[in-house]
Chains A and B, each alone.
Chain A
Amino acid sequence: MFARFTAGAFTGAAAIVLLLAVPVTGAEAPALPGMVIVPAGIYRPLFRGEKDPKEISVPSFALETVPVTNVDFLEFVRARPQWRRSQVKRLFADPGYLQHWTGDLDFGSPENGARPVVFISWFAAKAYAAWKGARLPTTAEWEYVANVGFTSVEGAKDVDFRHAVAKWYGTPAPDVLPQVGAGRANLFGVHDLHGLVWEWTSDFNSTFVTGDARGDTGVDRQLFCAAGSLGNGDPTNYPAFMRFGFRSSLKAAYTVHNLGFRCAKDL
């Protein structure tokens, strides 16, 4: 029932009409509160091995419109004590876990409530999503939606969108994060994929290991120097390079001051 979209090549007036006909922002009941239904589409990976497909089909799924907040996460740690700061296993979260909170069940000033939760490990994010009856988005899902612009499904052709995305990388990290939802929504009604925090994906560290052409020792090497521009879809998509670079610098127990997450759900 959903039209198929590609983030890479999308042309023609007829297709745009189709897009506008898609109930993107709530004409249909969302799978969960706070989520929108993302129409099925195609993601063209930035990096791929020789034997990997050029395109990955992304079935329609539900995605939270904003990242998970401190308020949301407090609810979770109340219900699941093993994920409280003092009780989490070191195996699942490094010592920085929730370090911006003032206590196990206290995220500090009330304004922090609507800010994205950060200093979160992949394990914790995954556990939160499961508790919600949801899951983390895959990298393909996340990137597919992140490449959708404000006014065009092809963000690369949306000048305002491109500038907004690039701006984040040219400005210093703020002392205090903005609250979620402040960023302009993309065409699918999703906020803050750019310009707020990095976000975990379910397969954050699998991007470079699907091709066997470079052998097992080449896991990360593609990201370095000029090798980083070999075999990728669009060598001028610097923000995407940076996202892939960031993800592959992570390990699942890591926590970072500007790394949060949002949930997705199958339909």
Chain B
Amino acid sequence: MKRVVITGLGIFSSIGNGVDEVRQSLREGRSGIGMSQARVDLGYRSPLTGILPEINLKDILDRKSRLRYAEHGVYAYMAVREALQMAGIDDAYLKANEIGIIMGNDSSAKAVIEGIDVIREKNNTQFVGSGNVFQVMNSTLSMNLAVSLGLKGVSFSVSAACSSSSHAIGLAATLIRSGIQERIICGGAQEVNEYSVSSFDGIAAFSMRKDEPQKASRPFDVGRDGLVPSGGGAAVMVESLESALERKATILAEIVGYGVSTSGEHLTIPTSEGPYTAMKRALNDAGIEPEAVDYVNAHATSTPLGDANEAEALSKLFAGTRPYVSSTKSMTGHELWMAGASEIVYSTLMMMDGFIAPNINLEEKDPKAATLNIPTEAVEKQIDIVLSNSFGFGGTNAALVIKKI
């Protein structure tokens, strides 16, 4: 089995454009949450959302690409470009070597809705234009990026709700471990437009703390009342250790464990058993005991039941030991399809810089999280092993373990 390492990171999120801005925000505990007037106008219960940095599309993509990339495709493109640059992979290397792509994605709502609106208005499908078809498909991220970058390796997208991009990284690592691929750029992206996850609002999944947007996402706090949707793009360059050494790339971390499970009980209500199994399997896969884990980047989305059940699973797994646990969603909101990848980016940055990002807005801990060691301010600490959790609707659970090398 080959060893799998991370050599590049890319991130565009509500707490910054690029790793330099994001690592600063993580240290400072800066919230990226605000309000969306467009959501108010559409009749949302909650207009809370992650607010992304402004970008000029013409500075980023040519005309044809702008037509074919969905909103979150652009975010993915930016993140992938940054990760490749950090990994020291330029266009000439992309052309001469086989690199794959696996991206997590589970919707492209705006493109679908706007396309159908045109068809209804014009009663003529051609007025949707040439690019819509490449925006609406669930593989929009991997499809467009593979062509833009001229990739020749594996190319597909993973749909697994809020664990989509965690599975994307896990699957990429699995393919490299087995020798099927040497290098894969992986990650995920999430649209934040007013159509995105609108039905989540309909089932009362979002926080209603409208008077305090930046305090609305409060994982593990007794006053939490729902998640805050957010998004952006996140990318991780992974490759075999041999490939990284051969390229003389800087190795940022090693992916040592991937654990999966499906709870199989309810579409939206999470269990504690399923996540526990995924975490246990990830640690077993890594060949480490719970005591070796320095930091857990929790899935905790700020929902009453989800956080409580994850806290229960963490308390059981880490009985007798107290790694630091925080949910970066307290700052970013829930980045949904992109969360698994963005949280590996955040965790790797913490590992590189020697600190643990705070779980902001934790004022009174949920009794179920009583034994968890949750910092509310950044902690300066060298961390060698991180466990990162992602769980999704339908009970799909993923856990990844990364290690300093």
Q: Do A and B come from one complex?
A: no
